[in-house]
Structures are given as structure tokens and as C-alpha cells.
Amino acid sequence: MVNGKSNVAEPPVPEPPLAPSRTIDRVEEESIVKTTIRVNRKRPESMTKQITDQLTSLIESGAMTVGSYLPSERELANSLRVARNVVRGSYESLMKAGRIQSEGRKGRSVRASGGKRRAAAKGSRSSAGAKARKK
């Protein structure tokens, strides 16, 4: 014993395993999107259509799973070197098609392949309510 400490080395304390982090997963998913999407300015179709088609194929192929987040408009626009409204148009098109959903400040994520929102159901519900009131 020297200076109150024993000569026997203490076994190292194992570090707790890292909990799965949503931010790490999100960064990995966003990097998949950023590295696989390419925009060709010389093609006759719009850049918005090119981005939409490529995101759709990533979703359909399973490269982007249900619940995975897309990069923000600004991040994707900067990485592709396009205007932000180009990416916004692509995201809006995917939202209308029911492929992605907006989660407010959290961002946009891939929807389950259940399809589009029920915009038509809203109208049918009001007509059903009108029929019930007539009786």
C-alpha cells in the first residue's frame, strides 16, 4: 500500500451501452438521401420532378423506411445546390401523394404505405351529416 492506495489495479468499469439515438439514425438516413439524389440541370424534366422521382424510388425500394425523416428543405437544397423552393415543391408533391407526412418542427417523415390522406372522406362525412339532418 502506497499513499493509502493498494497496489492491486481496479478492474475497469464497463461503460454502459449506448442507447439507440434518434439523431444518429436520422443523420444516417439523411446522408442516404443526400448521397443518392442527383439533379441534372440539362434534363428536360424539372428539378422538382427529378427529386420527387428519386425520393419516391428510395421509399419504394425500402432504402428509406417508414418513420424515417427526410432532411430539411434547407439541408437538401444546399447539398444539391438548388433553390429551396425546388425541394419544397418536391416535398409537397410527396405529401399530396401520401408518401410522406409533416410532423411540425420535427420535420417530414416517410408514411406507412396506407395511401393518401382522406380528403374525400371529409366531404362524404358532411354529406352523410346533411342527410341525417333532413330526416
Count of domains forming the chain: 1
List pLDDT tens digits, range 39-87.
Answer: 999 999 999 999 999 999 999 998 899 999 999 999 999 999 999 999 9
Residue 16 included in any domain = no
| DSSP 8-state assignment for residue 117 | -
Question: Of 90 and 13, which is predicted with more confidence?
Answer: 90
List pLDDT tens digits, range 104-119.
Answer: 889 999 998 755 554 4
Compute the distance between CA of residue 14 and CA of residue 62 in angstroms, rounded to an integer: 36
Residue 133 included in any domain = no
Amino acid at 103: E
Residue 64 included in any domain = yes
CATH of the domain at 57: 1.10.10.10
Residue 17 included in any domain = no
Domain containing residue 26: 22-119
Q: Provide φ and ψ at 27, rounded to 5°.
A: -65, -40
Number of Cβ within a 10 Å radius of residue 109: 18
Cell of 51: 427529386
What is the DSSP track for 12-36? PPPPPPPPPPHHHHHHHHHHHHHHH
Q: Is the model's pLDDT at 22 over the cut of 70? A: no
**What pLDDT is recorded for position 30?**
62
Residue 130 included in any domain = no
Strand partners of residue 110: 100
- 3-state helix, strand, coil split of the chain in percent (to 5) is 50, 5, 40
Residue 108 included in any domain = yes
Residue 5 included in any domain = no
Question: Of 25 and 12, which is predicted with more confidence?
Answer: 12
Residue 46 included in any domain = yes
